[in-house]
Amino acid sequence: MNGLSADLRKTISIASIIIAVIMCVICLIFVNSWQTMVLGILYGTLIAIINFTIMAKAGEKAIEMTPEKAKTKMTLNYVLRYGIYIVTLIIAVKVSFLSPIGTVLGFFTSILALYLTQVLDTPGNRDKLKKLLRRAK
């Protein structure tokens, strides 16, 4: 189980970085103050990867606990992770070289990466996606 979780964390981290780079390239093209937006996206992505790693490791440990202890641990972990998001967003608002909007976009990279790597990568969805892409041509 530990190896599978480590592989998933690595896959999500790499996919999050790729999505962040794509967002940064789009910002280079369409946003006037692209420097602050790019720094915000990268900062938010870093925090999102850290939070995903914390959540995955807590989930691994919770599996081995009794249900009561696991519920308490996961609740505390939830509060900790969202506290990290709040502090990160406050820093992004206070610091002039980070875009709060870019930071929030960065927060969503790990969620989007998880969706793209896990939900869309199932065999049935892969076939549906190929058919959809063929129809679009």
* In a domain? residue 134: no
pLDDT of residue 89: 94
pLDDT of residue 62: 86
* In a domain? residue 132: no
* In a domain? residue 52: yes
* In a domain? residue 133: no
* In a domain? residue 35: yes
* In a domain? residue 69: yes
* In a domain? residue 93: yes
pTM of this structure: 0.81
For 53-90, give one letter per residue: b (16+ CB within 10 A) or e.
bebeebeeebeeeeeeebeeebeebeeebeeebeebbe
pLDDT tens string for the chain (137 positions)?
Answer: 455 578 888 888 999 999 999 999 999 999 888 889 999 999 999 999 999 999 888 888 888 888 899 899 999 999 999 999 999 999 999 998 899 999 999 999 999 998 888 777 666 666 666 666 666 55
Give residue 18's domain range.
2-127
Number of domains in the chain: 1
* In a domain? residue 48: yes
